[in-house]
Structure 1
Amino acid sequence: MKTPKRLEQALIKLYNAFHNDELNPECCSACAVGNILDNHDSWKHLSNDHGSLTLSYVGRVHETLGRKFNGYSPLELLQIERIFLQACGFTVPLCHYNTKPENPRNKEILFNGLCAVVAYLCELDGIANVMDYSKIFEFENENPVYKFDVIYD
């Protein structure tokens, strides 16, 4: 199955942000959606609260008009961000009195957030989760279903 363009582009951007330490759940231009949208923070006007699924007036207008931002609707973007924040350990919507992880830029925390986002992005496009590695451990009649060439240096 061919990976849809919007998914492929989103995965590349999230991968690069993660490995270049440019992923920050508390920054609208460096969070999951901020990275998917080329590090622009204008998406924050789609809702009144970071992490909320309630569209603002601007968000409702864009949603009603069928607008897409790098392939994603306003509601899809809000859901992506909510999933990312929650998987990173934030209580949403973000607020100074809501709980948050002690170190939100911790790689393990960010990885958990990304895993949840990737699963949702794949679900949106109706494809199997590209991060599901359980297939490599499948077996039939005591033999692995998939064979890999192991190269030792």
Structure 2
Amino acid sequence: MKTSKRLEQALKKLYTAFHNNELNPECCKQCAVGNILDNADSWKHLSDSHGVLELNYIGKVHETLGRRFNGYRPLELLKIENIFLKACGYTIPLHYKNEKPKNPTDKDVLFNGLSEVVTFLCYLDNVSNVMDYTKLFEFENEKPKYTLDLSG
């Protein structure tokens, strides 16, 4: 499957962060967007609250100028983070009084968040969802329709 450079880089960064225990929804450098942006926290200045979908003045200026951060527009970054936090079990905006998972860095919690983020990243690039494993179970005439390449 052909993917864009930004999608490939984002997937590699998220994969690495997940497996190196460097993914934390409550840290703007280690959340989904923080990892996509090389553990930078400058993106947090695009909105007034973590997890919301509304750009603030700075975010609107960057969006209007067509600015991209590792290939993603400011509004796309906010949507990625919003999806990640919601799928991890947070109530938006991220705030100590709002609902959150008991253990935010639990692998199952993070996997749920990443699954939704990957689905959205693939959608943005008009690529089939790389997390969709259902094709592995499709069959025709009692034979698998697709083969699984395990040579990796």
Identify whether the pair has TM-score above 0.5, normalized to the shorter chain. Answer: yes
Equivalenced residues, count = 151
* Residue equivalent to 1:94: 94
Which 4+ runs in 1 deviate beyond 6 A?
Answer: none
**Structure-2 separation of matches of 1:150 and 1:34:** 32
* Residue equivalent to 2:48: 48
Matches within 5 A, 1:1-153: 1-148=1-148
Give the residue type in structure 2 aligned to 1:37.
L
| Residues 23 and 31, structure 2, Cα contact 8 Å, conserved in 1 | yes
How far did 1:149 drift?
6.9
| Unmatched 5+ stretches in structure 1 | none
TM-score, L = length of structure 2: 0.96
**Structure-2 separation of matches of 1:114 and 1:2:** 20
**Structure-2 separation of matches of 1:2 and 1:91:** 35
TM-score, L = length of structure 1: 0.96
CA-based RMSD of the aligned residues comes to 1.3
Give the residue type in structure 1 aligned to 2:13.
K
- Aligned residues: percent identity? 70
